[in-house]
Structure 1
Amino acid sequence: MLITRVELENIKSYRQVNLDFRRGTTAISGVNGAGKTTVVEAIGFALFDFLLYNQAQFVREGEKYGRIVIHLIGSDDRVYTVERRCGAGAYWFIYDQEADYRVEQRTDVLDKLHELFGIDRERSLKALFRDALGVPQGFFTSIFLEGASDRKLKFDALLQIEDYKNAADYLLEVQKEYREQVQVQLSEIQRLEFETRELEDWRGKLKELREIDQQQTTQITQWTQQLEQLEVRSTLLTKQRDELRQLENRFEKNKHTYESTRLRLGERKNELDLARTATRVVEESRADYQRYQRAEELLKQLRLDAQKRNALRQQQSTLSSTQAKVQTTIAHLNARLEEVAAAGRRIVELSPHVDEQVELEKQRDELTRKAAQYDELVKEGKRLVQQHAGYLQQQEALQQRINEIEPLLSMAALLQERIEAVARLRAQLNERSSRQRLLSEKREQLRQKQEERETVATRLRKAESTIAKIEEHRHEAEELPTLQQRYEQFSEQRYRLEGNIEGYIKSRQQSAGGLCPFLHEPCLNIKQRGVISLESYFDGVMAKDEARLADLNEQQRTVSARMNVVKKYAEALDKLGQMVEQRDSYVEYLQRLAIETARLEREVASLVDDLDALKLIDQQITREEAARNESQKADEQVRGLEGLRMQVQQLQEQAQQCDALIQERRRQTKELGGSNEQLKQIRLELERLNDPRGQTKAQREIFKQEPVYQRQLEERRQELQATE
């Protein structure tokens, strides 16, 4: 969180102030009473709801309200504005500028502040600010002066000690869960290792199968491409078939058109004969025409000659030539008029034959159509007969296949049962392998347990022997405290005697000359006690103490030697409880090992029995796989049985439809059976008539020239009269 701006209005000594903060550490300095603490208190009041005194004292004197606005960037990097007013019209809200959303309820504001600061909602914002973030003046050491329990509570809250404890407890749970998961994973690893013991073989098989799959995929791709090509070819052939059918229809239409055209051609041939007849007539007149041309040329020559002779004879010659020409033309036109008259008579003669020809041609066209229809029906009937025979042949072949497949139904029905049997046997085979592996593992575990049992039994015997020795020397070990006490007493006495001897030596040195070592005066009591001198006195006392010290040292050495002997028994006795516990644990562990060993022996025996029962599983799998393969082949054939039956049914329906069409075509053919004979007779009748309609048409063309000939004849007669 980063506070970027603080705005204060009517807060203690501030009437109006705006403070901008930058990233990093900000120091607030000033003289006493400048308002440094007020800024911190305003932040604590607006953000942490902490104020040491009442709100009325926080408002500037003489004002009714005070307002604090804090701009900050939250832990989510979004800009927020926290505004709090105290005094009259108090309110407190947080404004999210990015979301344009206000949080106004006190509880919601506190929850939002906890969220922005990233602390738990159970922790008090007031306590956090009071004890850590904004400790008031004069209270910096107050927390350290409190009682241990209060101090612990506050520091635990500040340092979140409870969180560490919870985390530690949670980590213990996590550790426990981790161990359990590790155990589960180890078991799973063992299971997976056992299940994947043939993984390399499976990988090899998988690689081979993938290669086969890749080859099959490549082959399928090639087949798909071939299928696409064949589909394109099929589409093209279908299109060509449709075009062929269209061409056949067009051929039939063209055939009818050809027949009609051929008939019209016959008519045109008749017309051609008439034209040839007219041509012969023209050829017959050609000689006269040529003579006419020669005469005209001669006339021209004569005219030239006449021009040379005289103009009159030329005029006479011209008139004679013109008269001859006109007469020739008149003769020619008269001949043409005779032909026209003959044509008129011929038209009258041919008129009844034309009606007969028209009727015969109608009959011929109808019979031609029927004959073509008859031929088409015969052709279609042959095709339908072949198609019907094909349907029957296909139906017979399919029925034969159905008859071959139907006995396989019972075998195909056993497919699932045989698949399950093979799977069950394979599972048993896998179980046998797993049981063999498990048997090896169990035997190894049994061997390890037995070795461990021997090891623990050896340790137990050793522990019992040690405990027996400790019990045997218990009374000696119990002497150690007494010996230690005596040793300490001897040490005290030795220290005291050594001190006395040192004092005696020092006093003897100070008593040289018979002076008292304390008074430094001659001692008068020595002689009364029968002591020769102080030196001899101190020598006697020192001799006694040294003798006692030597005896004491000897006793202490004896006690020390005894302590060294007893100490190892005492140390062993101190460990007796631990050894007894260890012995008991060995006994308990041996009992568990005995139970575990017995369990493993039972499991090994059970696995041996199971493996004996699974010895013949390979032969059973071979037999069941052979039976399953037979059922699979039968099932593959049986799966297509329904399709074959549907095909047979379709072929039966098609054969029935085809038979119905054959009967219909036979009926139609029977109705049209005499069309060809009738057509032949009609054609003979038409040939006998020799196309009277064409002849009539040709004669009518000649007859149409009569007005022209009459007009030309009249003109030539007038011309001839003019020349005469």
Structure 2
Amino acid sequence: MLHKLELIDIKTHKITKIEFKKGLNVLHGDNGTGKSSVLEMIGFVLFDFLPENQADYVRETHSDKPEYGKVRVWITDIKGEPYIIERTVGKPGVIVKDALTKSRIPEIRGVNQLKAWIGRNILPMHEIELGKLFDSSIGIPQGTFINPFLRREGDRKAYFDPIMQLGVYEKVFKNLNELNKKFEPDVQGVSETIHEIIGEIKIKEELLQEQESLNAEIISLAKKLTKSESKSKGLKEKYKEIKKIKEQIDEAQKKLDELNIKSEKENENLIDMDSQLRDANTAKQICDETKEAYNKHIKLSSNLEILEQEFEKLNAYKEDLRINNENYIKESTHLKQLEEVLKKAETNKKKLPKLERIYQEHSELVNKIKEIEATIVEINAKEEQQVKLEEKASNISKNIKSLKETLVELPELVKKYNIMKDIELRIKEHEIDVANLTNQLEFFKNNQEKINQHKCPFVDQTCKNLGEGTFNEDIFNNKIKTKEISLQDIEKQIEKEKEEIHEKEIFREKMDILEKDKTTIENYKAQYRDYQDEIKALKEEVRIKPQVIKDKKE
């Protein structure tokens, strides 16, 4: 796609920039403002076509005329990559740059390389010469579009055949018919196989329908099972409630049995109380009879109780005394132990400053050892990191060596590839010669046919010179034979050259891979340098490890 055009010192354009939008773009203006120059410069850059001499396109000024002009085109290739193509008008000069990186495409050094590059990346139409395509179909001047259609039949054929390439279509159609005939049995076999597969698919569809029916039954049964589980859950809840009520009934029955047992005991107690009442009445009668003796007994019993209480107090005093004696002995022993401890404390108090100093030194040593151990751990980690980096650096070095070995063949590949590109350009030139010879042959054959009909080959009327025998009727036959021989030689040369370049794309792919390997080597070298710097820094840090271990031992 064409995005932008810049003209510098081209006819009426000192510096003109035109940006194109997607779709149809229209240039309008008065006569002589340079509209045609814009179209002609597009044809010059992309199709290498100019209807006039390059020097005629350099801008004229009243003072000094510029030595040359420049044309720049911003364009996107078939892969969507943007490029800038610059051509000098009035002197040789071709530059193609990547529009993003501004880096120059090194393989394009002249017009032939530019045309080949455009034929591959911008306008991939290998059978049509770019200049003829522009002159006949794109850069057509105003009012001349229908001119080829007004020519005579032979001229029209000579003009349109290289453009339409009908022979190519006839050849392709013929090859297509041959392919259809060749593969017709295979197609028939595949068709039968397809019918068999369709039958199997129908059986499969019936099985799938049966499976869907079974799945529906399974879903129905699952729903019924869910309902049954729900009912079962309700019955279990009711069973729990009934079990709970039964437990309550059993508990009530147990209490009732206990109450019956209590009732029986109360009846027995009532009988006993009746018996005791009778005994009490008898005792009362006896007591009344022995009341005086009883009063004395009461008084003596009261005194006896007081004596018993005093005796119990005496025993309690004796027990307290025994306990106090035991406590006294214990406290005396404890007091002696405390005196021994106080003596030892006095002795240790004198040793305390020295012990404090020793403890302080010990604490400092412990802290130093911890710091040293932390340093050793850190150094060990750095040593491991150093080993890993050295392994990575070694692997990268091996990769670089391996890639360098593969790059040895790159110069030879580039040389062969450039030779093939030159051969490819020669093939295109030969193809143009073939088209020209074919047109000339057609022209001579048409003229010879007219001569055979005793017609003038130029005015298409009966010629009296042909009838009188004064005209050499074989003049065109001789030219036809000469042209056919030349055509055969060129076609043989084309076939030979095509055989020579059939591996061109393989070479291109190998070159691309090797170019990527070159980039990979540079990346590896950068990584290798980074690893070496890190290893050097780590070695410097690890160098102190022996001294640190020695300090720890000390």
Normalising by the smaller structure, the TM-score range is 0.3 to 0.5
> Which structure carries more relative contact order (alpha carbon 8 Å, separation 6+)?
1
| TM-score, structure 1 normalization | 0.31
| TM-score, structure 2 normalization | 0.39
Structure of higher CA gyration radius: 1
Q: Which has the higher helix share?
A: 1
